Amino acid sequence: MQARVFTRERIGKLYDRVHASLLSKAGSVKDEEWERGMHYPTRWDPNFSEFMTVERLFRYPVIHFRFHLNQIRPA
Phi and psi torsions of 51, nearest 5°: -125, 120
List Cα–Cα distances, 62 to 1, 4, 24, 32, 47, in angstroms: 22, 23, 17, 23, 11
Average pLDDT by stretches of 10, the chain with 75 residues: 74 89 93 95 87 93 83 68
pLDDT at 16: 93
pTM value?
Answer: 0.67
Residue type, 16: D
pLDDT at 31: 95
pLDDT at 20: 94
